[in-house]
Amino acid sequence: MLLLPMKTVIEPIKIKSIEPIPITTVGQRKKLIKEAFYNTFYLKSENVTIDLLTDSGTTAMSASQWGRIMEGDEAYAGSKSYYKFENAVKGFTNYKFIIPTHQGRAAERILFTIIGGKGKAIPSNTHFDTTRSNVEYSGAKAMDFPTKIGIMPEVVDDFKGNMDIEALEAFIKKTGKENIPLCMLTVTNNSGGGQPVSMKNIRDTKSLLKKYGIPLYLDCCRFAENAYFIKLREKGYEKKSVKEIAVEMFSYADGCLMSAKKDGLSNTGGFIGTNDEKISNKAKELLIITEGFTTYGGLARRDLEALAVGFEEVFDENYLRYRVEQVKYLGDKLIEAGVPILVPTGGHAVYLDAKRFAPHILPEYFPGQSITCEIYVTGGIRVVEIGSVMFGRKDKNGKHIAPPMELVRCAIPRRVYTESHINYTAEAIIEVFKSRNKLRGMKIVWEVPFLRHFTAKFDYI
């Protein structure tokens, strides 16, 4: 922690390289968002002033990482860079087998191709978008069991990302343990607002699954942020290091999936970690067919070097304090202005509560998407809807089935934006909120069956 006699949390970094950001007018942005089919994924980054679309792969890498990139051993097999990466990952997971992939969804595709399939079910506290789609693409069902308080955006609680243990056990009894190849636990819970999972809940989930002989895997792309929240909020962990807490988290699981583009503090990469040799062997077979050899997994070896350093830097508690406080700073400014957000703020993003922000727009008319478009028009800020566009369904009669929450995620890239950028973002969102009654419902005019939010095209009703 910073040992300063002041309350202000300063950035524990200094700027060494800069990149200009584009400045556009409201008139230009109205034209640009229309040309992008009212979907921020279609916007060109050259037309985005503040990019809060995702915290995945958008990290500003450190001087140490850039230096290590020059040490990349680009050997096809047996690269020195892979073994540095492997040692770094084993240093906090302790898993026997570490299989690199080019990003998290590649790890998901490989794992669920192996263990998924028709008739199977994969329960979770809450699957995120690519995880859910890779489960369902295999033919299996992706099931969510958040706690009741976890889907109440207006209620403050320390660990809103927790698994509902009772609901999970009821599901196991109903479905049959033989139809559940493994259970996922997402840390932090991204779909639930970047909310952490307590160590007690991880232990309790493992204890329940052990009774039924079901393995536990972590979706661990933000594991360090989750560990930091445990240090701050869970009794008995105050004096433990974040790395010690992370090691304990992984000790209760049988394996993990990671998009290392988050808490790997790098721009690409991911991995599967497991203690199951059979799963490891099958995963390596699929990896070679579709990604690359087992010691690079679709990555340039220099990227493995950057990840090895990132997995050291992410445990810096000065960094983690700054990271969490920067997100909280944006959330606090919005709360002060009356903007409804999911509370408390999580580790990587502020989530606007679209139901309370635009109550006049029904879920089937995508209030979050309307807010997202208006935030871009107002300030040139790119954010993303996490609600009925991303997770909505239709029943057999074509009626809209809304997810529990309608959110707009403002994901803050790691080590990228300064306080003035955050202040500007808050001002733009507040302006949209002041004029919220002018927001209009939207419709989808084109979509694909899986992960439609990436490429769907919209228009106003």
Spell out the residues 6+ positions from residue 45 whose beta carbon is closer than 8 angstroms to its own: 51
- Would you place residue 1 in the very low, low, confident or very high pLDDT band (cuts 50, 70, 90)? very low
Query: Taking Cα atoms as reference points, which of 415, 426, 372, 380 lies closest to residue 22?
Result: 380
Domains, the chain:
26-55+317-460 (3.90.1150.10), 63-313 (3.40.640.10)
| Total number of residues shown for the chain | 461
The answer to whether 299 and 79 have CB atoms below 8 angstroms apart is: no
The mean predicted confidence, pLDDT, of the chain is: 97
Residue 338's region, left for phi above 0, alpha for psi from -120 to 50, else beta, is left
Q: What is the pLDDT of residues 228-279, one digit of tens each?
A: 999 999 999 999 999 999 999 999 999 999 999 999 999 999 999 999 999 9
User: In one letter, which amino acid is 365?
Assistant: Y
Are residues 68 and 309 in contact, defined by beta-carbon separation less than 8 angstroms?
yes
pLDDT at 65 over 80: yes
Does position 61 have pLDDT exceeding 80, yes or no? yes
Mean pLDDT of 424-439: 98
pLDDT of residue 6: 63
Residue 4 predicted with pLDDT over 80 = no
Phi, psi of 112, rounded to the nearest 5 degrees = -80, -20
- Look at residues 449, 97, 20 and name the one whose alpha carbon lies nearest to residue 256: 97
| Interacting residues of 428 by C-beta distance below 8 A, sequence separation 6+ | 375, 378, 379, 380, 381
Judge whether residue 7 has pLDDT over 80. Answer: no
Q: What is the pLDDT of residue 5?
A: 54
d(CA 122, CA 454): 23
Cβ burial 350-378 (10 Å sphere, 16+ → b, else e): bbbbbbebbeebebbbbbbbbbbbbbbbb
pLDDT at 145: 98
Query: Residue 54, preceding bond cis, omega within 30 degrees?
Result: no
- Which strand (E) or helix (H) includes residue 454? none
Contact, 192 vs 126, CB < 8 A?
yes
Please report, for residues 86, 186, 270, 338, the alpha-carbon distance to residue 125 in angstroms, rounded to integers and kept in the order given: 28, 7, 21, 30
Sorted by sequence, the CB contacts under 8 Å of residue 412 that are 6+ apart come out as 52, 55, 326, 327, 330, 348, 349, 350, 422
Q: What is the pLDDT of residue 310?
A: 98
pTM to 2 decimal places: 0.96
Work out the pLDDT band at 9, boundaries 50, 70, 90: confident
Enter the tokens of residue 358: 């635009």
Smallest CA-to-CA distance from 125 within 200, 201, 176 is with: 201
Cα angle vertex 445, ends 362, 365, to 5°? 5
- Among 182, 198, 192, residue whose Cα is nearest residue 140: 182
Residue 58: predicted pLDDT: 98
Considering the chain, what percentage of its residues have pLDDT values greater than 70? 99
Residue range 207-225: mean pLDDT, rounded: 98
pLDDT at position 113, please?
A: 98
